[in-house]
Structure 1
Amino acid sequence: MSRVVVIGATGHTGSYLVPRLVRAGHEVVAVSRGERTAHQERPEWGAVERVVADRKDEDAAGTFAGRIADLRPDVVVDLICFTPDSARQLVDALRPSRPLLLHCGSIWVHGPALRVPLTEDEPRTPYGDYGLGKAAVEALLHRETLSGGVPSVVLHPGHISGPGRRAINPAGNMDADVWRRLAVGEPVALPALGMGVLNHVHADDVAQAFERAITRPAAIGSSFHVVAEQAMTSRGLATGVAAWFGRRAELELVDWPEFEERAGAEHAAVTREHIERGISASIERARSVLGYAPRYTSLEALHGSLTWMVANGQADVGGQAF
C-alpha cells in the first residue's frame, strides 16, 4: 500500500477520505491547520500521522510545498488548492520524487452548459475567481503530466453535501429558511420556472472517487466529474424535500426581480451563480476508468446535510420530523 499525504484532511471531504484510506491499508499523513478535528471522528484516525500546517501563510513564505515533499509521499491528495501559484509551488517541490498528485477541482471549471450531460472534454469557460482558479490549476497539472513531470489526476466534485456541511438548498442558495418553509408547507419562491439545475454529491462519494483514483494508473493525466448519478432541478429538489415531511411543495415561480426582492440580494446572487450554469455533469468517464459508483442520490445527500444542520442548530424545520 501507499504512503498518502492528505492536504486539508480534517475538512468535509477529508473527514470521509482519511478513514477510507486507513481501512484500505494505506499509511496516511493528515495535514491541516489544526483548528478543528474531523467532523467524522472515527477509530481509524488513531492510525493517522498528524501534521499541523497553515497552507496560506506557508505558501506566502514559500515553505509549504517543501514540507509536503519532506513527508516522502507516494501519493498527495490536495483538497485545498485554489490558485495556480499554490499548485505550481507544490508541483515544483514534488518533481524530484514524482509522487502521484490527486487534485480536488470543481464542476465550476465549466461555465453555462451548452450540451448536457456535460463531459470533461467540454471547452473550459469558467468565470468568477473560484472557477477561474480551479480551471487554471487543472490546466497547469495536465501540462505537468504531459511533460513527464509530476503525474496527476483531477477530480471535479459538484455541490458537496452530507453530514458535516451546510448544503445548497433547492433554491440554489444558503438561506436556511427555505428548509423551514418546505417543512411546514409555506410557499417557496423559485426563479427560472424552477428549472435551474443543481448537481449535488455526498462527500463520501467524493472520497470514494479519490480512493479509487490512487489505484487506477489509467486515470493519470485525466479529469473526472464526481457528482450524484443525476442532477436535479430546483423544482425537483424542493418537491423531494417537502415529501420528507409528508407535504406537497408550495412553489411560486417568479421572475428574477421578484425573486431578488423576496430572497434578498445576497441569496439571489448565490442562486444565480449556481443555477445559470445549468450543469448536469456526466460521470461516465469516472464510472469506466475509476469504477466510481455513487452510493447517494442528490436528495439523499441533502437529507444527510439537513439532518446534521438541524442537529447542530444551523437549520430549523419547525419541529417537523423527517
Structure 2
Amino acid sequence: MRIVVIGGTGHIGSYLVPELVLAGHQVIVLSRGERTPYRASSAWRRVELITVDRDAEDAAGAFGERIRALDAEVVIDLICFTEASARQLGEALRGQVRHLLHCGTIWVHGPSTLVPTPEEALTEPFGDYGIAKAAIAQYLLGRDGLPATVVHPGHISGPGWAPVNPAGNLDLGVFETIANGNELALPNLGLETVQHVHAADVAGVFLAAMANRSVAVGESFHAVAAGAMTLRGYAEGVARWFGQESRLTYLPWDEWRRTVSERDAEITLDHLSHSPHCSMEKAARLLGFTPSYSALGATLDALGWLVANGQLTLDRPAD
C-alpha cells in the first residue's frame, strides 16, 4: 500500500516507518527535517522524505490538500495537536483515504478513577494538551465517511531520549541520584502512578490497527505497558538496575515542590494529577496485540542508552 506518515522521524516513526517498509509498503514521510530517526535502518533508503512546515501550511489552509494530493491509501498522523488541524486533514481525506490513524494520548482521560482505565471510560481531560487531544479524537471517530482509528500512548520511552523519571519530571539528575546511591525525596508517599510505553510497542499498536482495519476503524486503543508503576516502585526498580539499595524519603507536596525548579514541579504535578493506569485489554481482544516491554523495561532501555552515551554523571561505571 501507499502510506503517508506525518511526523515520521520522531519517537514512534523511528520504529514504525522501517517496519512499514520491510512489510513491502511504499512509504512517504513528512517532517520538518530538523531531526534524523532515533534508530538506524537501511529501510530509510527506500522512504520518500518530504520537508514541510505543517503549522504554516495549516494556517494557509493548504496542508490537508497537500496530503490529499499524495493519493495515499493509509495516512498516519503522529503530530496533530489541534482540532482545527485535524479537521483540515480529515475533511481533505474524507471519502478518499482507506484508513486514517491518529496519535492521541492517554491524557484524554484526565485523572484516573476506575483502574485499569478502559478506552470507553468517561473522558474528563484537563490542561490544554489533554483537552485538545480529546476534541480531536471526538471529531475523528464521529465524522461520517472518515475511516479513522485513534491510538492513545502513555509516556513514550526508548533509546535516544530521557524518559519521565521516578519524580515525575524530566530531570536527569534524579537518575544520577539513584545510580550513585544517594537519597531521593519523592512527593507525597510516592504512590501516584506513571505508565510508560516503549516506542516500539506504540508502533506495534499502529501496525496491528492497520492489519485489523475492519475492527479498528471507528475505535480508539491505548498504547501503554501492561501495568502502571508507582513513583516509589519505579525508583526502586531503577535502583536495583544500578545495583543500589533505594534510599527514599517523602515530603508533602508543598514542601517537595520547593526542592526542585518551578518547571520540574509543574511537570511533576501534571503527572501526579493524572496518575494514569490504562488497560490494554481492548488491543489484545480486537487487534491481537500485547506489549513486549513492561513499564520498567521500557524506561530501562532508555536509561541504558543514556548511560552508554555519557548522558549521566555516575560515581562509578554502570555494570
TM-score (norm 1): 0.96
Deviation at 1:12, TM superposition (A): 0.9
Question: Which range moved further: 194-203 or 17-26?
Answer: 17-26
Match of 1:195, SS state, is coil
* Mapped pair 1:234 → 2:231: yes
Tell me how many residue pairs correspond in the alignment: 318
Secondary structure of the structure 1 residue equivalent to 2:258: helix
Deviation at 1:62, TM superposition (A): 1.2
Q: Counterpart of 1:11 in structure 2: which amino acid?
A: G
What is the DSSP-based 3-state SS (H/G/I as helix, E as strand, rest coil) of the residue aligned with 1:194? Answer: coil
CA contact (8 A) 1:245 1:320 kept: no
> How many Å apart are 1:313 and its aligned residue?
4.6
Residue 78 of structure 2 is matched in structure 1 by 79
Q: How far apart, CA to CA, are the structure 2 residues paired with 1:320 and 1:111?
A: 40
**1:132 lines up with 2:131 in the alignment:** yes
Query: Matched residues in 1 for 2:153 and 2:115: separation?
Result: 17
Unaligned 5+ runs, structure 1: none
* 1:200 counterpart = 2:196: yes
Aligned partners of 2:294, 2:118: CA distance in 1, in Å? 19
Question: What residue identity is the alignment partner of 1:19?
Answer: P
Determine the C-alpha separation between the residues in 1 that align with 2:150 and 2:133.
10
Q: What per-residue deviation string (whole Å, max 9, x for no partner) do you get for residues 54-90 of structure 1?
A: 1111111111111111111110000000100000000
1:288-309 deviation per Cα after TM superposition (whole angstroms, max 9, x unaligned): 1111121111111111212223
Q: Return the alpha-carbon distance in structure 2 between the equivalents of residues 193 and 237 of structure 1.
A: 13
- Other-structure match for 2:140: 141
Unaligned runs of 5+ in 2: none
Query: Secondary structure, in 3 states, of the residue corresponding to 2:12?
Result: helix
Partner of 1:161: 157
Report how far residue 143 of structure 1 moved. Answer: 1.1
Q: Confirm whether residue 152 of structure 1 aligns to residue 148 of structure 2.
A: yes
Q: Where does 1:1-322 land on structure 2 (aligned, <5 Å)? A: 2-144=1-143, 147=144, 149-216=145-212, 217-322=214-319
User: Cα distance, 1:184 vs. partner?
Assistant: 0.7
Residue identity opposite 1:131 in structure 2: G
TM-fit CA distance, 1:275? 1.8
The offset of 1:247, in angstroms, is 0.8
Residues in 1 aligned to 2:311 and 2:148: alpha-carbon distance in whole angstroms: 37
Equivalent residue letter for 2:317 = Q
Distance in structure 2 (CA, Å) of the matches to 1:276 and 1:317: 31
TM-score normalised by structure 2 residue count: 0.97
Q: Secondary structure at the match of 2:5?
A: strand
CA distance in 2, matches of 1:172, 1:37: 27
1:219-276 CA-to-partner distances (Å, cap 9, x unmatched) read 1101111100111100111000000111111000110012111123221221110022
Structure 2 residue matching 1:170: 3-state secondary structure: coil
Percent identical residues? 49
Aligned residues of 1:179 and 1:317 also touching (Cα < 8 A): no
Q: Please give the alpha-carbon distance, in whole angstroms, between the structure 2 residues aligned to 1:269 and 1:192.
A: 15
Cα deviation for residue 141 of structure 1 reads 0.4
8 Å contact kept, 2:307–2:318: no
Q: State the alpha-carbon separation in 1 of the partners of residues 204 and 15 from structure 2.
A: 9
CA RMSD of aligned residues (A): 1.2
The letter of the residue matching 1:161 is S
CA-to-partner distance for each residue in 1:97-122, whole Å, 9 max, x for gaps? 13310000000001111111101111
State how far apart, in whole Å, the 1-side matches of 2:65 and 2:187 are: 48
